[in-house]
Structure 1
Amino acid sequence: MYVRIGAEGRNLVLPYIEQTEEGIELMGLAIFSGDKMIAKMNVENAKILNLLKESNVKGLVSLQKSPTKYIDFYGESGKRKVKCNKQGGKYVFSIDLTLTGTIVNNEMYAEITKDVGQRTQFEKDMARNIEKQCYAFFKIMQKEYKVDCISLGREGAAKFGRRKENDWNKIVSDAEIKVNVKVKVDTQGRGDY
């Protein structure tokens, strides 16, 4: 991990833990620029960061419309696919995410096990929800942190050449980042009782 600090287009992101009354707790992620910690990220944003940065991420994602209408989806992402292009001197990154998994708790879609239309609607709603969270994260990353936390600079350096003395933190902060999420339901809980 520490070897990668000097790699072009990468920044270190480590777990941020604190001593609390309950013991040691994970409070989020610490974001580094070079060897200096510049920000602390909360756990919710850390989930989105892991989804965008790593391949084969597992976790629980919830979609909630009201306190009594919600659905929980335990998904696993496949290989992260990132495309980098240059349009008029501005970098454009496109991230494709595919989540496949199981519905573990459903209080929103009553007939999802029998109705294919409802399952398709859930997949679209969940994809839109994750995309919305990703775009909110991009806004924070580009405007507040101003650091490439999700290693997009690595993809840009691989495509457009390394060792050109590019400041990938600035390039990614000024870049357009798009995300395309696809959700696929494999199974729907333990059965119908």
Structure 2
Amino acid sequence: MASRVRLEDRECPLSTTVRHVGEWWTLLLLHDAFDGFTRFDQFQQSLGISTSMLTTRLKTLVADGLLERRPYQTNPVRHEYVLTGRGRSLRPVIVALAAWGNRHLEPADRSMILVDAESGEEADPVVVDARTGRPIDDSEAYVFTAGPAAGPGMRARYTELDRKRTARRGALGAADRDAPAPGAG
């Protein structure tokens, strides 16, 4: 059977991220870890996940460097699972996913909301460009393009997309130039 994954997808940061955190239980485990859960029994009770699935997911998160396994008891030896810096850096992603879900629900239907810890006021998280502070949800203002490590497939993909975007901007600019001036006519 032929692989469904294109060569350029193997180097895509979205593909590599999904490989680490794209499994449903993984996102829920990370969410619980952000809420302060560290012990196997806490995760299991919170999620209602089977012992074997939880063991597998925790091993994967440790192997991927998102959680660190630390002993907290010596007799018998028991371990806790603590977020690493790499794991903590996923919090904005988890927050953005939850916010996206909440934006598509009526306020009364939201089972979980993000609030300011001091004021209790609901937050409305957005992803912004760190340099300008502008929201990056505008798909015309911010686009992906090939990076320095892009292989031939990735470069070809974005060369074509850049060409199409340039042509579209040119067509839109021409339409603006050909439109009658406001109040004319």
TM-score by length of 2: 0.26
Between structures 1 and 2, the one with greater helix share:
2
Work out which of the two has the higher radius of gyration on C-alpha atoms and give 1 or 2.
Answer: 2
TM-score by length of 1: 0.25
Between structures 1 and 2, the one with greater strand share:
1
Query: Higher RCO, 1 or 2 (CA under 8 Å, sep at least 6)?
Result: 1
